[in-house]
Amino acid sequence: MRTQILVIALAGCGLIVGCEGRPTLFPNSDPALQKTSTQFAADAAKRFPYPGADARNGEAPGRAEIDLMMAQLQILNSGDDDWKEVDVWVNQSYVCHVPLIPRGKLTVKTVAFGMLFDAKGDSFSTQGGKNPVNRIEVARDGKLYTIPMRLAD
């Protein structure tokens, strides 16, 4: 019995140590988004300041689904073109660069909350509902587009 408990405890510690520095427990399915939290924070720092109202260009053809249980966004591009070199902005304060969000109604891009950082280097958190996701936007080609959003089922 004690041996089993010890094995389980050691396996749990191995999982924790193995995830050190990563924004999520499991790696992102996109190899371009398999970075450490430090790398995401440094990249986000280069994206500030927020593009602002002057860059707004309406609504993007797509959808963002907010999964609060998994602490992630799933972004769908339902337009006719791939979105290349995209900055995903949440609440005008947190950003994550995504090299490609391909077009297609069957393909989604997953952005974990731990991949979104503000100008101070803090990652996004809903803080138990005190900081809800109010707005999701994508910046691409010098323009800013709002993405319609909904909560995951």
Which residues does 128 contact at the CB level (< 8 Å), separation at least 6? none
- Encode burial over 48-60: b for 16+ CB neighbours within 10 A, e otherwise: eebbeeeeeeeeb
pLDDT computed for residue 142 by the predictor: 92
* Structural domain spans, the chain: 2-151
The one-digit pLDDT tens for each residue of the chain (153 residues) are 554 443 343 334 333 334 458 677 678 888 888 999 999 999 999 999 999 888 889 999 999 999 999 999 999 999 999 999 999 999 999 999 999 999 987 889 999 999 999 999 999 999 988 999 999 999 999 999 999 999 998
